[in-house]
Chains A and B, each alone.
Chain A
Amino acid sequence: MTATETMPAVAGRNRFFDALAPGGRRALFVLGIIAVCLLFAFPVLWLVLTALRPGYAVYYVHRGTDFTLDNFHEVLSQEIVLRALWNSFAISTLATVLSLGVTVTSGYMLSRFRGPIPSVWFSAIYVFRCVPYVSWVLPLYFVTRALGIFDTYWGLLLPHVAVHICFFSWIMKGFFDGIDPSMEYAAMIDGCSRWGAFLRVALPAAIPGLTALAILCWLYTWNEFLFALILTAQNTPILTVVMAQFVHELGMEWHLMSATAVLSLGPALIVTVFGQKYVIRGLKI
C-alpha cells in the first residue's frame, strides 16, 4: 500500500476527532478507557463475586445479597490446597531462579558472539518455538517416568526451566542487543576479563530487563496448567490442577474453585504490582 492510499483514511479520522469540543474529546477518551478496563476486569469481578457466594447461590450471582467467606475457609482447610499453594510458589520461584541463570548467559551469548555454537543454539530455540507447545507434553511424560522423576519437583521444574530458557533467551538477547557492547570493551581494557566485563558491566545494565523477565517467568509457571496436569499426580499437587479438580463426577463446585482462584490471584497480584515498573521499563529497552 502506498502512502497516498492511506492518507485520506487518516485525515478523515482526524477530522471526526477534531470536530468534537475539547471536553467531548476528553469524555470520549475516558469512556473508551473505562470500557476497555471493564472488559478486562469483568471476569475477575465475576470470579470474586462467585467466590463470595454460598454454594447454592453461584448460578444467579447477579441476584441475592447473601455473601460469605466460608468458601475460603473451606478450601484453606483442605490440606491439598495448602500443599498446592506451597508447591506452586516453590516451583515458580525455583524455575525462575534456575532458568534466569541460564537465560541470561544464553541471551548474552546470542547477542554478543558469532560462530557455530550460537548458531546451533539459536536454531534449536527456533525449532522448539515452531513446534506446538502441546506436542511436548506426551514425550515429557515418558521421559519423566523413565527418569523416575514423574510427580516430583524435578519432574515439573526441569520442563519448565527448558521452556523458559527457549522462550526467554530471545527476549534476553533483545535486552543485551540494546546495551552498547563498547561498555564491556571499556571494562576489558579497564582490567576485567571477558567474564568479568559481563558480570560487572553488562549484567548490571540489564537489571531492568532481567527483573521484567523474572516476573514474566514467575507468572508463567504460576499460571501454567498443561504441564502441571500431565506431569504431576497426588504427590506434587499444583494449584492450577487442584483448582480444576473441583469439577468432578458429583458436579462442579464453582464457589470453591473460585475461592481457590482468588487465592491464587493474590501472589500474582503482589508480584505484578511491585514489578509493573520494571516490566514496563524492561519492555522499553
Chain B
Amino acid sequence: MAEVTLSNVRKTYPGGVAAVKDFNLHIADHEFVVLVGPSGCGKSTTLRMVAGLEDISGGTIAIGDRIVNGLQPKDRDIAMVFQNYALYQHMSVYDNLAFGLRNRRVKESEIDAAVRGAAKILSIEPLLDRRPRQLSGGQQQRVALGRCIVRNPKVFLFDEPLSNLDAQLRAQMRLELKELRQRVPTTSVFVTHDQVEAMTLGDRIVVMKDGLVQQVGSPLKLFRQPINRFVASFIGSPAMNFIEMALAAEADKFRLAADGVAIELPQARFAGLGPHVGRLVTLGVRPQHLRLGRARNGEQVAFSGNLMVSEQLGDEQLLAVRIGCGDIRVSGVDPELALAAGAKVDLAVAIDSLHVFDGSSGAAIR
C-alpha cells in the first residue's frame, strides 16, 4: 500500500511533441484516481510513466517514499491491466497468474495458495487450466485482474481495461471492479476516455487535455463546478449545452443576449460577471437541468424554441430544441409526453444550475 506522487512530470517525445506538460498529482493511500480525457491528451502516457514503460523527460514520480524515476518496471512493485488484457497466450490461466510470483522466486506452495485465492475472489477457479484464447472477453479481463491482485502490489494501474468489452459487459465489469476495490483496497490509477467510467469508479478524477491537467476533483465537484468549458463539456452525458451570448449590465441585473435568446441574471448572485460586461461569454446549461414549462420569475430563466427531434429511451426522452442561435439538448423528459416535431417548446432552468464561461479562454466565471 502506498501513496503516489507526481511532481512536475513532463514527457516530450523525440521530435519535440510534448505529450505531458507539467503534471502534478498526489494520490493518497488506497485512493482510486481516474485520468480521463480525449485521445491524445497524455493520460496513457502518464500512466505508462508511472509504470516505468516510458521514460520521464522531467520531474519526479514517487511511489511510497521512493523516487522511481530510474527504476525498471519490475522494481516498482506495481501491477497493470491493459486494454487488450495482455495475457500470455502460450500459458494456462494458472501460469498467467503465477508468472509474476515465479519471477520473484516465491515458493510454489505459496504461489498455489495465492493463485487459488485470487481465482476465488474473481470466480475464475474453473478456468485455471484453460488457455487465454479459450476465454471470453470478460473472463480474460478477470484473469488480467487476477494477475494484478495475486502479487499484492503497492499500486494498481489500469489502462482503459474496459474499452474492448461490449456495453453490457462493460457495465457489469464496472460493478465488479467496484466490488473488487472493497475487497482489495489498493492505491489505483485508472485511465479511460469514458466519462461514465470515470464518474462511477473514481474517488477523484483528473481531467486532461493536450497534455495538461484541466481539473482535479471528486466526480460531484467536476459535475457541479467545472473549472472551464472543456471540463464542463467532457463530464456529464448528454453533454452540456453551450450558448455564446453578449453580456450587458442593466440596473441590478446582467443581461445575456444572443440571436433569439435573452436572459437576465441577478448581479448579486453572479458578481464575477462584472469585469466581463461588454464581452462575449458562454452560457452552459446541462440537459438534465432543463425542464419543460414556463419559468418561475426570479428563480429560473426561460428559453423557448421549436422541437427538432425527440429520442425515446423508454424511461425518458431526449429532445433537441432549436432556439434562435442553435440547438440545445434536453434530457429527462416524460417518456409518455407526445411532442410533434416543429412544435413550440418552453424550457426553464434554475438560475443556480447555470454555468458561465469566459468567451475566449473558456474559464468558468463565478
| Chain A interfacial positions (CB closer than 8 Å to B) | 180, 182-183, 185-193, 196, 201, 204-205, 207
Contacting pair B89 A183 (CB below 8 A): yes
Point out the residues of chain A lying under 8 angstroms from B51, CB to CB: 185, 189
Interface residues of B in 251-272 (CB under 8 A from A): none
Contacting pair A188 B53 (CB below 8 A): yes
- A190 in complex: contacting residue of B52, B74, B84, B90, CB < 8 Å: B74
Contact with A along B39-82 (1 / 0, CB 8 A): 00000000000011100000000000000000011101011101
Chain B interface residue count, Cβ-Cβ cutoff 8 angstroms: 24
Point out the residues of chain A lying under 8 angstroms from B84, CB to CB: 180, 182
| Chain B interfacial positions (CB closer than 8 Å to A) | 51-53, 72-74, 76, 78-80, 82-84, 86-90, 99-100, 103-104, 147, 151
- A189 in complex: contacting residue of B74, B88, B89, B90, CB < 8 Å: B74
The answer for the CA separation of A192 and B87 in the assembled complex, in Å, is 15
Point out the residues of chain A lying under 8 angstroms from B72, CB to CB: 188, 193
**In terms of DSSP, what is the predominant structure of the interface of chain B?**
loop
The answer for the CA separation of A204 and B86 in the assembled complex, in Å, is 14
Chain B min CB distance to A113 (Å): 12
Point out the residues of chain A lying under 8 angstroms from B100, CB to CB: 189-191
Point out the residues of chain B lying under 8 angstroms from A190, CB to CB: 74, 79, 99-100, 103, 147, 151
Listed by A's residue number, 20 A-B pairs whose Cβ atoms lie within 8 Å are A180-B84, A182-B84, A185-B80, A186-B86, A187-B88, A188-B52, A188-B53, A188-B72, A189-B52, A189-B53, A189-B100, A190-B147, A191-B74, A191-B100, A191-B103, A192-B74, A192-B103, A205-B88, A205-B89, A207-B90
Contacting pair A183 B73 (CB below 8 A): no
- A204 in complex: contacting residue of B52, B82, B83, B90, CB < 8 Å: B90
The answer for the CA separation of A190 and B78 in the assembled complex, in Å, is 8
The answer for the CA separation of A125 and B234 in the assembled complex, in Å, is 48
In this complex, the member of B52, B100, B104, B147 whose beta carbon has the largest number of chain A beta carbons within 10 angstroms is B100
Chain A min CB distance to B203 (Å): 23
Contacting pair B80 A186 (CB below 8 A): yes
The answer for the CA separation of A202 and B84 in the assembled complex, in Å, is 16
Contacting pair A188 B74 (CB below 8 A): yes
